[in-house]
Amino acid sequence: MASERPDHQRIVITGVGLSAPNGNSLPEFRRALLEGRSGVKPFETRYFGHTAAGICDFDELRYQKRKEVRRGTRAGSLGIYCAREAIADSGLDWENVDRSAVGIFVGVTEHGNVETENEIYLIKGYDYDTRYWSHHHNPRTVANNPAGEISLSLGITGPHYTLGAACAAGNTGIIQGVQMLRLEECDFALCGGVSESIHSFGIFASFNSQGALAKHDDPTKASRPFDADRNGIVVAEGGCMFVLERYDSARARGAKIYGEIVGHAMNSDATDFVLPDSGRQAECIRLALRRAGMRPEEIDVVSTHATATVSGDVQECIALREVWGESGGRTLINNTKSFIGHAMGAAGALELAGNLPSFDDGVCHATINLDRLDEQCALPGLVANQPRQAGRINAILNNSFGMLGINAVVIVKRV
């Protein structure tokens, strides 16, 4: 159990770097969440046309040259921006850090679709003559690309790879960082998730064909988890990277500690390509709690995965009732996708980051756009439309569930 681990096996968060549709730093992101500001905007994409999306506006040239941006990928640029911001936030003496002792573990939902779509579109203008296919295509589309671009940008020579875990990828990147630190494969872990998904017309078209793409006259109201009038997902891009290190290391250098990762779990539904299984989700939550040595009522905030699909939201609520019971106790429940849409591979990491400041300010941010609660999603602790002052918050549980039935849960405690 977490409480029994020696200090060199306790893993803490000491740096956060992010780009979300409504903020390019944790303070900016948190401010938007507390003020109820959505980052969803009108968006038009090739072939599909007009829709709504969560769009980031970070400065790609802050840490990259124009040539590097052109050669690389949007996911790589997001990863580089977030990783460098996280390192700066951590207070590490980066120039004197052993780069071979740093690992990079980046969760992704998909990678390579954007680049492939773009290349096919471009050679269409040359009558599909493959002599005009970019020689940058292969390094852009290999599965390790986002983590690899971070490695190149920062000169990190420790292990780097991406983890394909659908919409559970952000949590999966964090879990991998924790495990590699405990195995002493690295001394510092840059981990989290990124997504460039809005730049692929195919993702919009596929969700639309599935009847799962959100539609609303006002884009800021399109993402509506738990609302009776919800009608699907708002696709978003984004990125969030954390610096993780061992507690004894962080304490020795006097680092600011955002929280300690005390529990985590992953499992699989093994039931359907897209439909979630509440029973397996509940099992994943219970396993994370058991590893943390905690009871459900000791969790102060549950950050939900809910994407605003009709069945997905209901299944997660069933899972939460199964673990917490119908009364729910004193645990508060919120949702970040209502503000930014579904940032796919970055979702879990961004959602955890947005809740971390509650350890300092004692506030649980709301779920917005909740005008008419679906009675099947009526959870006692659901924080609707206005943030709630909760007093002292000690523990956050972060849910992430993805296609093909992959589930990942992370628990973070105040230190």
Pair 271, 42: CB distance under 8 Å? no
DSSP assignment of 56-99, as one string?
Answer: ----GGGTS-HHHHHHS-HHHHHHHHHHHHHHHHHT--GGGS-G
Alpha carbon distances (Å) from 314 to 44, 66, 378? 30, 45, 9
List, in sequence order, the alpha helices (H) in 253-331: 278-292, 310-324
- Rounded distance, CA 240 to CA 349, Å? 6
Amino acid at 101: A
Which candidate in 111, 160, 264, 305 is catalytic? 305
- Rounded distance, CA 106 to CA 102, Å? 13
Pair 311, 9: CB distance under 8 Å? no
Which candidate in 56, 82, 167, 364 is catalytic? 167
Quick check: is 50 catalytic? no
- Rounded distance, CA 387 to CA 267, Å? 32
Pair 195, 346: CB distance under 8 Å? yes
395 Cβ contact list (under 8 Å, min separation 6): 262, 294, 298, 299, 300, 301, 411, 412, 413, 414
Which candidate in 111, 199, 264, 342 is catalytic? 342
Catalytic positions, written as ranges = 167, 305, 342
